[in-house]
Amino acid sequence: MRVEIGEGECQGHGRCVDLAPDVFEYDELGYGVVGLPDGIPDHLVSVVDVAILNCPARAIRWIPDSDEQTPAASVQGPQEQGDVHGQV
């Protein structure tokens, strides 16, 4: 599974870097960049999901590999209605 930040969609809130620092990093202007462009290891999938749900710009999304199943946690509509409720 790979994750992407949509071209020109990031607003620079930095939530992804705070929440998933092993996956996301900043560019020189403070916009988010995927630091693991080749794929997200299984143990980081859940923090990416959290980053996706916290991004105020809704700029982050999974790119399913064509021959791979999409993890259940990342199957979301554009508004992710009903998926934004998780609490510890």
Binding region for another protein (CB under 8 A): 11-14, 17-18, 26, 28-30, 50, 53-58, 79, 81, 83-88
**Is the CA virtual torsion 20, 25, 31, 34 positive or negative?**
negative
In order, the DSSP letters of 44-57 are: GHHHHHHHHHH-TT
Nearest distance in Å: CB 47, another protein: 10
Q: In angstroms, give the least distance from the CB of 1 to another protein.
A: 20
- Please, which residue, 42 or 56, has the CB nearer to another protein? 56
Cα 64 to Cα 28: distance, rounded to the nearest angstrom: 28
Q: How far is the CB of 75 from another protein (least distance, A)?
A: 16
Q: Return the number of the residue (11 or 71) whose C-beta is nearest another protein.
A: 11
- Choice between 15 and 40, CB closer to another protein: 15
Alpha-helix residue ranges (DSSP H) falling in 10-63 = 15-19, 45-54
Among candidates 75, 87, 85, 1, which has minimal Cα distance to 43?
Answer: 1
